[in-house]
Chain A
Amino acid sequence: MSAFYANYTPSQRARIVRSIQMMVLPRTANMSNMITTETGEKMVYRRYASLYFIVGLPDGANELLALEEIHLFVEVLDQYFGNVCELDIIFNFHRAYAVLFEVIMGGHIVEGSKKEAIEQITKQDVLIEEVNAANSGQRRDHSNEENGLSYTMQMQLGRRPTKQINHTLSF
């Protein structure tokens, strides 16, 4: 999952994502969470269990702030999904995005308070529920069903880290 805040073509995006994976994955826990590439781009990442959250930064941005932003985002996710895990994000990627957009917009933090952000998102969800409820009854409500993870899915947990890339290169 990734978001770009500058204009890139699809192939450029793919390349960036690949190179970031190459750089971040081999790093161990006792290394610092900031990377500077040869081209001068800064990368800040944070790992939560098997999830990586990576932010690209322009020169001169505050790395610690980026870490805080990541943390804020994760906290909101956590609160929203209730103990968030990889599968939550895979199956509900659209919601994860909704959360992301609520917290960070165009590479900047929009809402600094968790409570406020959660409130807004749940309100939106209520709207969606209404829409779905209005829909013909036999259609299953996907949004609810996905929250109950099956046993096998739980088993798969932590198999492979999903990369959550939130890219704010060069605003």
Chain B
Amino acid sequence: MFEKSLSDLVKGIRANKRSPSAFISASILECKKELKDSNEFVKANAIRKLTFLRMMGYEFSWANFATIEVMSSQRFGHKRVGYLSAAQSFNEDTDVILLTTNLLKKEFGSSNVYEVGLAINCLSNIVTQDLARELLPDLTQLTQHSHGYIRKKAVLCLFKLFMKYPQGLRLTFDRIKQCLDDSEPAVVSCAVNVITELADKNPKNYLLMAPHFFSLLTSSSNNWMLIKVVKLLGSLVSEEPRLARKLLEPLAAIVQNTQAKSLLYEAVYTLTLALPFAKKSDGSVSKAVPGIVELCADKLKSFVEEADQNLKYLGLVGFVSLMRSHPKAVVNHRNLILRCLCDDDVTIRSRALELLTGMVTRKNLQELVDQLMQHVRLSEGDYRDELIQKIIFMCSRDKYAFLTDFKWYISVLVVMSRLHGTEHGAMISSQIMDVATRVFPVRDFCVGKMVGLLLKSEVVMGKSKSTIWEVLHAAAWVVGEYANFIDNVDLQENVPVSLHHSLLSVLLSPSSLGLPSRTQAVFVQAAIKVFAAACNSGLTKPEQLVMCLDIFQANLPLWMKSKDIEVQERASSCYRFLTSFDLLRPLKEPELVALELEEGMSNKEGTDLEPTKVEREGNESPLADDLLGLVMSTTIETPVLSVNADSTIITSDNAGSGDGSFGRLLDTTLTERCREHARAILAVCVPEPMKPVNAKAQKRLTPPSFHGFQGSLRAGLFHDLIQEDSTVSRKRKLTIEEVSFGFFGARATMSQPSSTGTISFDETGEIGDVSTAMSGNGKDSTLKETPSQSSHLQNINCPPGDRVDGTPFYLTDSGVMGGNFSDGGDDEADADFGEIRLGASESDDDNSREGAKRPERGKGKKKKSKKKKERKTDDSFAMREDAMAIFGGDGVGVYQSDEEANGEESDEQRGGRAGGAGQEFDGLAQIDLTTPLAPDEVMPERKHREVPEHRMESPPKETRTKKKKKKKKGKREKKMKKKESTADLLDFGAANDVDVADLAEKVAERAPPALNTMGGDLLTPVSSNLQDSTVTSLNLKPDEMATLDSLASEFVTGEWAVVSTKVKNESGVANPIRVIARMLNASIVDGSVSDDGSYASLAATGKGNKRLRVLVKCKGKVIKLDFKSNSKKLAKSASKMFKELAL
């Protein structure tokens, strides 16, 4: 038989470049056949080929067993193939890994150093917890091997073992320490490597060794190792500040002398880490520090100036680190760093950007951002997004702490919003809104900018992928909310009629309907606010007002037909609102009907429901008529208007929004009415000054009961409102109720109940319930406001100056605001903002503090919580030690009850730390080397310790998981655990003769099921157990399984007997693995279900240190069982049992 060599395979693949898969699958089939060949050479070759194919991304878990066979070959060449394959393909889930334990053990004893080397290397790749536990003693032996080649590998491999089996660290650390004094430099270097890695996880353990490393640092010349030593010392610094001071000088010496860039970099970097700790306890700084800082900065600078991109990059990274302790030293190199922004490499640019972000001060912010803005213009893609994000972050961080000129900031934001394709629309928009609400002096400026933005929105819109509409959203809101500043706006260009007019035409233009609905909704709202402002403004001429109204008249119906329900709602409520003031003519009947039809059920339902609701609500059913009649009556009462409207319809139907010349001529009264109602409209639309509300602050409020939008309306709800209202205005109580209710009733069926208060809440997302609630009141009363009532509006709608008083949210205090508000000047802005910032941050602190303490209000409780905290820290400190004792004292198993009680806290502790280090190292970080070894902490011995060892493992684990889950559950369990632990102690060592099985059974009886499975390893002898289980626990009848072909092969490796059997699962037991496990009373070590069947490995322990490992593979109805045992008899009898079952 001729088989392909590896090079044939590779050539073949390369020859079939186009479609290698056919060739490969053919090769795989061949390999499969070859693996069955008895010739070792053929087998090894096949494995090698498979390893190659695996590199190409194919997966061959079926070859794992064959891999082990090749590994156990006698020839070194084959071994190497096998070990390579294993190192590449095995992982923690690999089932056959159990079989390697003995193989490796044997290999460690080999006389050929390279075989040992292979085995160690392989182990470092495939190590699992089991392997680590079993092989730790052997490997520790190897660190004393006569060959340095072995020693270095063994030391390094130990680290891998520790990762899987942290308890081992305490046991073997002395060996590693000895390795530091090894004659072979490679071994020392490896040991340093290991300790460096360990110290990275838990530096505290290695503090005592610091002097040793210190001498290494000053004496050694091996750069590989020096780097590690430097790194190691660097990680120790955080635990021992005194070390930092000592380190500075030798490190500086290295920095000055070394030629190796990597060492230089490491030293500088460590220096930057050490510098923050270099302060003496009295706060003074040693003389050397400034010099060293300078040295670092110099070296880093030279790095950054290098042509080599790598050094440049690392220089920047170093600067970032240096900045943490000595920002000033970095700021000097600002220009250098700015130059890096022009670099080709994005990684360098973003690193430089990060640096710049940290360098911001009040003085240089503006300059920096201006420079960044230039880059923004030039850049594109992700990097530009990053730039924009950073700019916004720089300006807004710490509540605008570094920002002195808000006008400038607004301009920057506007420029940014004009960029095409940015993704930061939302961010920019929220910034604009935030600044506009917080900073009074720049409002008019902001409004001006926004007006400009809106009027030119066509330019900006229409570009795909842009999020500019988000900005328009903010712009519209700002313009609407602060519409009273529009008068002050001085645009360079001329506008056809008036600014208000052109704004309205943009806001309500049909083309705006192309915007996302969220923005549309804001547009409608802003439109009416702008209109109100126009009415209020003394500068607006009557014709202009009428023209504004014409826009409403012409365009609103279009908006009322929007497909978005909220836009529709706002538009129509706006329309009706204006209609109710006789400012717009109502839609003609047919129009209305058409509209309602299109709107579908929602609106109709609304009208239908009204009366019923009213009845439910109030005892005033006649109200309903009034309600419905409201709109009607206005039209009737104002015949002039309706006539006027009718006549305009003719013109506007033809000429669109047209020139409202007709209306203008006809109606000077219209404009008068506008002015009359202006206050009312304003009051409704701008009911309250918007306050930026902290998210926490909002949560802190209990939502007012009458804001249950989702729930059905309560009768008392309106009653409350009415009561409150009546205290404000005593007039026409009844109508107030009627009208307000009418409005609400109609809206109630819409997707969201409409009220101006809520709407503005939606817009900003920051406005708390408070303002809504208050504005709700205001609006209720104002909605039906008639001219005569407008007087009381002033109560509700206070002049802005008063509103601000006592609100901690604004960036200006009221005094400053008052001054600036009127004249808009901000010449003193600098000075003002100094205080402003102070105030703002204080209030913010308050906020957050309050937020944090929210759950425990009241002084007594606060105190209590403080106490609690203190105690907690104490406890957790103590707990940490406890936890370590538990962890480190592998198998000690004696628990003090108070430790138990506090157990959960130590769990928390562990969890907390695990967060940083990643779970893998969790255990490793727990190990505390500083405490002396307890007498019962013994290196696991090879023989006669299997049973206790398993048990040593289990108690801490069990208790740990228990603690998590059943914190309070019973002392009974604790007692039991204790019992178990004592059992461990008794069994420990050579006490094999004790009847473990009995004890275990006892324990198992009393333990809850969970415990039972966990302790499953400790079991009764197989034979008796078999009867037991078949009779009692299993309903497995012999005929449930019958074999067609039962094939048993048997061979012995080392002192382990391996027997394999095949049985057939005729009756199709659903979960054969479970059944088998129960029959053997074995625990399932691991298992998995894949497409081609399931497998599991089971472990059982019998009397007299007999262990049985079973590998079960199920494919279809065939079950393959591989028994492996240290007692041939046991393996045989087990397989026999299954064979019999089968027969």
**Chain A residues packing against B (C-beta within 8 Å):** 1-3, 5-10, 14, 28, 30-36, 60, 62-65, 67-68, 90-91, 93-94, 97-98, 101, 105-106, 108-113, 116, 120, 123-124, 127-128, 130-132, 134-135, 139-140, 142, 145-146, 156, 170-171
Contact = CB atoms under 8 A, between A and B. Distances in A.
Given A68-B262, A94-B48, A140-B5, 20 more contacts: A5-B125, A30-B345, A31-B309, A31-B344, A32-B310, A32-B312, A32-B345, A35-B347, A63-B313, A64-B261, A64-B262, A64-B314, A91-B7, A93-B52, A105-B153, A106-B157, A110-B156, A131-B75, A139-B41, A142-B7
Contacts of A139: 41
Main secondary structure of the interface of B (DSSP, over half): helix
Nearest to A72: B224
A94 B7 contact: no
Nearest first, the 6 closest Cβ-Cβ pairs linking A and B are A64-B262, A32-B309, A106-B124, A131-B77, A128-B77, A31-B345
A94 B348 contact: no
B91 interface: yes
Main secondary structure of the interface of A (DSSP, over half): mixed
A140 B41 CA distance: 11
Interface stretch (B135-143, B189-197, B1058-1066): B189-197
Given A30-B344, A124-B76, A124-B114, A105 B124 contact: yes
A24 B548 CA distance: 60
A123 B76 CA distance: 12
30 contacts: A3-B88, A3-B125, A5-B125, A9-B91, A32-B309, A32-B313, A32-B347, A62-B262, A62-B266, A64-B261, A91-B6, A94-B48, A94-B51, A94-B80, A94-B84, A97-B87, A97-B88, A98-B80, A105-B153, A105-B157, A112-B186, A113-B186, A124-B80, A128-B80, A130-B76, A132-B77, A142-B45, A146-B6, A170-B918, A171-B163
A110 B152 contact: yes
Contact of B265 (A33, A62, A111): A62
Contact of B91 (A7, A36, A124, A142): A7
Nearest to A170: B918
Contacts of A35: 347
A74 to B, nearest CB: 16
B604 interface: no
Given A1-B55, A8-B91, A64 B344 contact: no
A55 B112 CA distance: 32
Contacts of B117: 120
Contacts of A145: 7
Contact of A62 (B55, B159, B200, B227): B227
Nearest to B309: A32
Contacts of B443: none
B920 A170 contact: yes
Contact of A135 (B41, B121, B124): B41
Given A32-B313, A110-B156, A132-B77, A62 B345 contact: no
Nearest to B185: A112
A9 to B, nearest CB: 6
B815 to A, nearest CB: 47
Contacts of A33: 309-310
Contacts of A131: 75-78
Contacts of A36: 347
B262 A65 contact: yes
A139 B918 CA distance: 51
Contacts of A68: 224, 262
A131 B159 CA distance: 33
Contacts, number: 154
Nearest to A111: B186
B92 interface: yes
Contacts of A140: 5
A10 B58 CA distance: 9
Contacts of B920: 6, 170
B958 interface: no
B186 A105 contact: no
A14 B262 contact: no
A97 to B, nearest CB: 5
B41 A110 contact: no
Nearest to A34: B313
A162 to B, nearest CB: 10
Nearest to B193: A108
A142 B11 CA distance: 13
B92 A110 contact: no
A110 B265 contact: no
Interface in B340-369: 344-348
B383 interface: no
A127 B81 CA distance: 13
B227 A65 contact: yes
B70 to A, nearest CB: 12
Given A32-B310, A94-B51, A106 B227 contact: no
Contacts of B200: 60
